[in-house]
Structure 1
Protein backbone atom coordinates (compact mmCIF):
# COMPACT_ATOMS: atom_id res chain seq x y z
CA UNK A 1 0.00 0.00 0.00
CA UNK A 2 1.50 3.35 -1.01
CA UNK A 3 2.20 5.80 1.79
CA UNK A 4 0.30 9.07 1.87
CA UNK A 5 1.93 12.44 2.15
CA UNK A 6 1.15 14.41 5.33
CA UNK A 7 -0.90 16.87 3.27
CA UNK A 8 -2.96 14.16 1.53
CA UNK A 9 -6.73 14.50 1.97
CA UNK A 10 -8.13 12.53 4.89
CA UNK A 11 -11.60 11.08 4.98
CA UNK A 12 -14.15 10.56 2.27
CA UNK A 13 -14.61 13.47 -0.14
CA UNK A 14 -18.11 12.31 -1.04
CA UNK A 15 -19.20 12.25 2.60
CA UNK A 16 -17.74 15.70 3.30
CA UNK A 17 -19.42 17.19 0.24
CA UNK A 18 -22.76 15.60 1.15
CA UNK A 19 -22.52 16.90 4.72
CA UNK A 20 -21.87 20.46 3.55
CA UNK A 21 -24.49 20.15 0.83
CA UNK A 22 -27.13 19.02 3.33
CA UNK A 23 -26.36 21.94 5.66
CA UNK A 24 -26.47 24.49 2.84
CA UNK A 25 -29.67 22.96 1.43
CA UNK A 26 -31.35 23.06 4.84
CA UNK A 27 -30.45 26.72 5.24
CA UNK A 28 -31.63 27.75 1.78
CA UNK A 29 -34.77 25.57 2.05
CA UNK A 30 -35.82 27.44 5.20
CA UNK A 31 -35.78 30.73 3.35
CA UNK A 32 -37.15 29.62 -0.03
CA UNK A 33 -39.96 27.68 1.67
CA UNK A 34 -41.37 31.03 2.78
CA UNK A 35 -42.26 31.59 -0.88
CA UNK A 36 -43.78 28.10 -1.21
CA UNK A 37 -40.93 26.32 -3.00
CA UNK A 38 -38.12 23.92 -2.22
CA UNK A 39 -34.64 25.01 -3.24
CA UNK A 40 -34.53 22.35 -5.96
CA UNK A 41 -37.82 23.63 -7.36
CA UNK A 42 -36.59 27.22 -7.24
CA UNK A 43 -33.41 26.28 -9.09
CA UNK A 44 -35.29 24.41 -11.81
CA UNK A 45 -37.91 27.13 -12.17
CA UNK A 46 -35.19 29.81 -12.38
CA UNK A 47 -33.46 27.92 -15.17
CA UNK A 48 -36.75 27.54 -17.04
CA UNK A 49 -37.54 31.25 -16.67
CA UNK A 50 -34.04 32.19 -17.85
CA UNK A 51 -33.70 29.67 -20.71
CA UNK A 52 -37.27 28.96 -21.77
CA UNK A 53 -38.80 27.89 -23.93
CA UNK A 54 -36.09 25.24 -23.83
CA UNK A 55 -35.73 21.62 -24.86
CA UNK A 56 -35.65 19.29 -21.85
CA UNK A 57 -32.25 17.89 -22.86
CA UNK A 58 -30.70 21.36 -23.00
CA UNK A 59 -32.27 22.22 -19.67
CA UNK A 60 -30.85 19.06 -18.07
CA UNK A 61 -27.42 19.82 -19.53
CA UNK A 62 -27.50 23.42 -18.29
CA UNK A 63 -28.30 22.16 -14.79
CA UNK A 64 -25.82 19.26 -15.01
CA UNK A 65 -28.63 16.88 -14.13
CA UNK A 66 -29.72 13.49 -15.42
CA UNK A 67 -32.69 13.59 -17.79
CA UNK A 68 -34.70 11.23 -15.55
CA UNK A 69 -34.15 13.52 -12.54
CA UNK A 70 -35.23 16.51 -14.60
CA UNK A 71 -38.39 14.71 -15.70
CA UNK A 72 -39.28 13.80 -12.10
CA UNK A 73 -38.66 17.33 -10.80
CA UNK A 74 -40.41 18.94 -13.76
CA UNK A 75 -43.59 16.94 -13.12
CA UNK A 76 -44.02 18.75 -9.80
CA UNK A 77 -43.73 22.19 -11.42
CA UNK A 78 -46.19 21.21 -14.16
CA UNK A 79 -48.66 19.80 -11.59
CA UNK A 80 -48.49 23.07 -9.64
CA UNK A 81 -49.13 25.08 -12.81
CA UNK A 82 -45.71 26.79 -12.73
CA UNK A 83 -44.32 25.21 -15.90
CA UNK A 84 -45.72 23.67 -19.04
CA UNK A 85 -44.43 21.24 -21.63
CA UNK A 86 -45.31 22.17 -25.18
CA UNK A 87 -44.86 20.56 -28.54
CA UNK A 88 -41.58 21.48 -30.18
CA UNK A 89 -40.91 22.52 -33.74
CA UNK A 90 -41.15 19.08 -35.34
CA UNK A 91 -43.94 17.36 -33.43
CA UNK A 92 -41.58 14.86 -31.81
CA UNK A 93 -39.64 17.34 -29.72
CA UNK A 94 -40.83 19.13 -26.61
CA UNK A 95 -40.20 22.54 -25.09
CA UNK A 96 -40.46 23.58 -21.46
CA UNK A 97 -41.47 27.06 -20.40
CA UNK A 98 -42.66 28.80 -17.26
CA UNK A 99 -46.28 29.82 -17.00
CA UNK A 100 -47.18 33.34 -15.87
CA UNK A 101 -47.82 31.87 -12.39
CA UNK A 102 -44.40 30.21 -12.54
CA UNK A 103 -42.73 33.51 -13.37
CA UNK A 104 -44.48 35.14 -10.38
CA UNK A 105 -43.52 32.25 -8.09
CA UNK A 106 -39.89 32.41 -9.22
CA UNK A 107 -39.76 36.17 -8.61
CA UNK A 108 -41.15 35.77 -5.09
CA UNK A 109 -38.77 32.91 -4.32
CA UNK A 110 -35.83 34.88 -5.73
CA UNK A 111 -36.26 37.43 -2.95
CA UNK A 112 -36.10 34.66 -0.35
CA UNK A 113 -33.14 33.05 -2.11
CA UNK A 114 -31.30 36.41 -1.93
CA UNK A 115 -31.98 36.53 1.82
CA UNK A 116 -30.62 32.98 2.16
CA UNK A 117 -27.49 33.85 0.18
CA UNK A 118 -26.93 36.92 2.36
CA UNK A 119 -27.31 34.85 5.54
CA UNK A 120 -24.90 32.25 4.15
CA UNK A 121 -22.38 34.97 3.26
CA UNK A 122 -22.67 36.43 6.77
CA UNK A 123 -22.31 33.05 8.47
CA UNK A 124 -19.21 31.99 6.53
CA UNK A 125 -17.87 35.41 5.58
CA UNK A 126 -17.72 36.65 2.02
CA UNK A 127 -14.01 35.83 1.53
CA UNK A 128 -14.63 32.16 2.41
CA UNK A 129 -17.74 32.00 0.22
CA UNK A 130 -15.76 33.49 -2.69
CA UNK A 131 -13.00 30.91 -2.19
CA UNK A 132 -15.60 28.14 -1.91
CA UNK A 133 -17.20 29.20 -5.20
CA UNK A 134 -13.80 29.32 -6.90
CA UNK A 135 -12.85 25.85 -5.65
CA UNK A 136 -16.22 24.38 -6.62
CA UNK A 137 -16.01 25.95 -10.10
CA UNK A 138 -12.50 24.54 -10.48
CA UNK A 139 -13.69 21.09 -9.39
CA UNK A 140 -16.63 21.14 -11.80
CA UNK A 141 -14.35 22.17 -14.65
CA UNK A 142 -11.88 19.39 -13.88
CA UNK A 143 -14.63 16.82 -13.57
CA UNK A 144 -16.26 17.88 -16.86
CA UNK A 145 -12.98 17.17 -18.62
CA UNK A 146 -12.87 13.60 -17.33
CA UNK A 147 -14.56 10.72 -19.12
CA UNK A 148 -16.65 8.70 -16.64
CA UNK A 149 -15.30 5.14 -16.14
CA UNK A 150 -18.48 3.64 -17.62
CA UNK A 151 -17.87 5.51 -20.89
CA UNK A 152 -14.16 4.81 -21.28
CA UNK A 153 -13.12 2.33 -24.00
Structure 2
Protein backbone atom coordinates (compact mmCIF):
# COMPACT_ATOMS: atom_id res chain seq x y z
CA UNK A 1 0.00 0.00 0.00
CA UNK A 2 1.34 3.43 -0.91
CA UNK A 3 2.15 5.86 1.88
CA UNK A 4 -0.45 8.61 2.30
CA UNK A 5 0.68 12.19 2.04
CA UNK A 6 -2.51 13.78 3.36
CA UNK A 7 -3.96 12.35 6.56
CA UNK A 8 -6.52 15.02 7.53
CA UNK A 9 -4.84 15.25 10.94
CA UNK A 10 -5.54 11.59 11.76
CA UNK A 11 -4.47 10.68 15.28
CA UNK A 12 -4.32 7.30 16.97
CA UNK A 13 -4.56 6.59 20.68
CA UNK A 14 -5.23 3.59 22.89
CA UNK A 15 -8.10 3.66 25.39
CA UNK A 16 -8.94 0.55 27.43
CA UNK A 17 -7.13 -1.75 24.94
CA UNK A 18 -9.01 -0.18 22.00
CA UNK A 19 -7.04 1.59 19.25
CA UNK A 20 -9.02 4.78 18.61
CA UNK A 21 -8.89 6.68 15.32
CA UNK A 22 -9.63 10.39 15.39
CA UNK A 23 -9.80 12.52 12.24
CA UNK A 24 -10.17 15.85 13.99
CA UNK A 25 -12.96 18.40 14.18
CA UNK A 26 -14.63 17.80 10.82
CA UNK A 27 -18.43 17.59 11.05
CA UNK A 28 -18.97 16.07 7.62
CA UNK A 29 -16.86 13.19 6.34
CA UNK A 30 -16.44 12.51 2.65
CA UNK A 31 -15.11 9.61 0.58
CA UNK A 32 -11.49 10.63 1.18
CA UNK A 33 -12.05 10.46 4.94
CA UNK A 34 -13.66 7.04 4.59
CA UNK A 35 -10.69 5.86 2.52
CA UNK A 36 -8.29 7.16 5.16
CA UNK A 37 -10.16 5.31 7.91
CA UNK A 38 -10.32 2.11 5.86
CA UNK A 39 -6.59 2.19 5.03
CA UNK A 40 -5.73 2.90 8.66
CA UNK A 41 -7.85 0.02 9.92
CA UNK A 42 -6.26 -2.31 7.34
CA UNK A 43 -2.81 -1.33 8.62
CA UNK A 44 -3.83 -1.69 12.26
CA UNK A 45 -5.39 -5.13 11.75
CA UNK A 46 -2.88 -6.68 9.36
CA UNK A 47 0.38 -4.99 10.36
CA UNK A 48 -0.17 -4.36 14.05
CA UNK A 49 -2.59 -7.22 14.87
CA UNK A 50 -5.24 -4.93 16.35
CA UNK A 51 -8.39 -6.78 17.40
CA UNK A 52 -10.37 -3.82 18.74
CA UNK A 53 -10.78 -0.53 16.89
CA UNK A 54 -12.71 2.58 17.87
CA UNK A 55 -13.60 5.68 15.90
CA UNK A 56 -13.94 9.03 17.65
CA UNK A 57 -17.24 10.54 16.48
CA UNK A 58 -17.31 13.53 18.84
CA UNK A 59 -17.40 16.12 16.04
CA UNK A 60 -19.18 14.18 13.31
CA UNK A 61 -22.68 15.11 12.13
CA UNK A 62 -22.71 13.23 8.79
CA UNK A 63 -20.77 10.27 7.38
CA UNK A 64 -20.71 8.60 3.97
CA UNK A 65 -23.16 5.70 3.70
CA UNK A 66 -20.31 3.22 3.14
CA UNK A 67 -18.88 3.94 6.59
CA UNK A 68 -21.19 1.58 8.42
CA UNK A 69 -20.88 -1.15 5.83
CA UNK A 70 -17.10 -0.95 6.17
CA UNK A 71 -17.36 -1.22 9.96
CA UNK A 72 -19.70 -4.20 9.69
CA UNK A 73 -17.26 -5.94 7.31
CA UNK A 74 -14.54 -5.66 9.95
CA UNK A 75 -16.98 -6.84 12.62
CA UNK A 76 -17.72 -9.95 10.54
CA UNK A 77 -13.95 -10.62 10.39
CA UNK A 78 -13.82 -10.72 14.18
CA UNK A 79 -12.64 -7.17 14.86
CA UNK A 80 -14.40 -5.46 17.76
CA UNK A 81 -15.70 -2.06 16.60
CA UNK A 82 -16.65 0.87 18.81
CA UNK A 83 -17.85 4.40 18.18
CA UNK A 84 -16.65 6.86 20.77
CA UNK A 85 -18.66 9.92 21.79
CA UNK A 86 -21.17 9.94 18.91
CA UNK A 87 -23.25 13.09 18.70
CA UNK A 88 -27.01 12.95 19.18
CA UNK A 89 -27.69 13.24 15.46
CA UNK A 90 -25.57 10.15 14.80
CA UNK A 91 -27.18 8.24 17.68
CA UNK A 92 -30.63 8.89 16.21
CA UNK A 93 -29.80 7.28 12.86
CA UNK A 94 -31.58 3.98 12.28
CA UNK A 95 -28.40 1.96 11.56
CA UNK A 96 -26.90 3.23 14.81
CA UNK A 97 -29.95 2.30 16.89
CA UNK A 98 -30.14 -1.11 15.26
CA UNK A 99 -26.49 -2.19 15.34
CA UNK A 100 -24.78 -0.38 18.22
CA UNK A 101 -25.26 -0.97 21.92
CA UNK A 102 -23.97 1.22 24.71
CA UNK A 103 -20.97 -0.46 26.30
CA UNK A 104 -20.34 2.32 28.77
CA UNK A 105 -21.09 6.02 28.81
CA UNK A 106 -20.15 7.57 25.44
CA UNK A 107 -18.83 4.24 24.04
CA UNK A 108 -21.02 2.16 21.71
CA UNK A 109 -20.07 -1.28 20.40
CA UNK A 110 -21.10 -2.70 17.04
CA UNK A 111 -23.37 -5.63 17.71
CA UNK A 112 -24.83 -8.18 15.32
CA UNK A 113 -28.38 -7.02 15.93
CA UNK A 114 -29.61 -10.11 17.77
CA UNK A 115 -31.59 -9.01 20.76
CA UNK A 116 -32.06 -5.47 19.48
CA UNK A 117 -35.75 -4.61 19.64
CA UNK A 118 -36.49 -3.37 16.13
CA UNK A 119 -40.02 -2.32 17.07
CA UNK A 120 -38.63 0.01 19.72
CA UNK A 121 -36.05 1.30 17.23
CA UNK A 122 -38.79 1.95 14.67
CA UNK A 123 -41.02 3.60 17.29
CA UNK A 124 -38.13 5.84 18.30
CA UNK A 125 -37.55 6.72 14.66
CA UNK A 126 -41.24 7.54 14.17
CA UNK A 127 -41.27 9.73 17.30
CA UNK A 128 -38.26 11.62 15.98
CA UNK A 129 -39.91 12.03 12.55
CA UNK A 130 -43.12 13.36 14.13
CA UNK A 131 -41.14 15.79 16.30
CA UNK A 132 -39.27 16.98 13.20
CA UNK A 133 -42.56 17.51 11.35
CA UNK A 134 -43.85 19.68 14.20
CA UNK A 135 -40.62 21.68 14.40
CA UNK A 136 -40.05 21.86 10.64
CA UNK A 137 -43.44 21.64 8.91
CA UNK A 138 -43.43 20.83 5.22
CA UNK A 139 -44.26 23.99 3.33
CA UNK A 140 -46.43 23.39 0.31
CA UNK A 141 -47.64 25.81 -2.26
CA UNK A 142 -50.71 25.38 -4.39
CA UNK A 143 -50.86 26.63 -7.90
Q: How high is the TM-score relative to the length of structure 1?
A: 0.26
Pick the structure with greater CA Rg.
1
* Structure ranking higher in helix proportion: 1
Larger relative contact order (C-alpha < 8 A, sep ≥ 6)?
Answer: 1
* Structure ranking higher in strand proportion: 2
